[in-house]
């Protein structure tokens, strides 16, 4: 393995944005409802044989894939494969505050918008405890 300091980055990788995030969840249907309500995601694809649902955010141009997690005996963190959290950008603090009010109105629990590194941030937990952050610039 090469140390990061020894790598010549050269040109930027040809990345144009986030394609998708795949999350292991205990209940695909319940998580699909939560992500649709909280992030405004719409159905995109599914495969009952494999056991996944893909949800898309049209404006953000990304997909969240929800797959049934295999049973595990370890702590909850093991089920998430080391994922700390997923952070998604929002346009500004005003829109974030409005979205937080909307989430409260539809019964989604959260602690409200708080400063995180000098930026307005709304931190949530999905039905499996996966941390989701909405953050303004």
Query: pLDDT tens digit string along 10-43?
Result: 667 666 677 789 898 989 999 999 999 999 999 9
Average pLDDT, rounded, for the chain: 84
Specify the residue for token string 């309500």. Answer: 37
What pLDDT, on a 0 to 100 scale, did the predictor assign at position 82? 62
Phi, psi of 114 (to 5 degrees): -130, 155
pLDDT: which is higher, 90 or 84 = 90
- What's the distance, CA 50 to chain centroid? 21
Strand partners, 57: 62
pLDDT: which is higher, 98 or 75 = 98
Which residue from 124, 126, 129, 106 is spatially nearest to 114, judged by alpha carbons?
A: 124
**pTM: predicted TM-score of the whole model, two decimal places:** 0.73
Per residue in 47-66, pLDDT (tens digit) is 888 888 999 999 988 899 99
Per residue in 93-109, pLDDT (tens digit) is 999 999 999 999 999 99
């Amino acid at each position: 393995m090469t140390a990061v300091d020894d790598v010549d980055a050269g040109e930027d990788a040809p990345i144009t944005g986030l394609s998708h995030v795949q999350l292991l969840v205990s209940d695909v249907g319940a998580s699909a409802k939560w992500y649709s309500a909280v992030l405004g995601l719409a159905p995109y694809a599914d495969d009952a044989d494999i056991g996944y649902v893909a949800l898309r955010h049209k404006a953000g141009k990304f997909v969240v894939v929800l797959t049934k997690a295999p049973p595990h005996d370890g702590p909850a963190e093991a089920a998430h494969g080391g994922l700390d959290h997923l952070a998604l950008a929002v346009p500004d603090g005003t829109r974030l505050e409005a979205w937080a009010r909307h989430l409260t109105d539809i019964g989604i629990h959260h602690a409200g918008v708080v400063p995180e590194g000098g930026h307005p941030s709304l931190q949530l937990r999905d039905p499996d405890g996966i941390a989701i952050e909405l953050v303004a610039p």
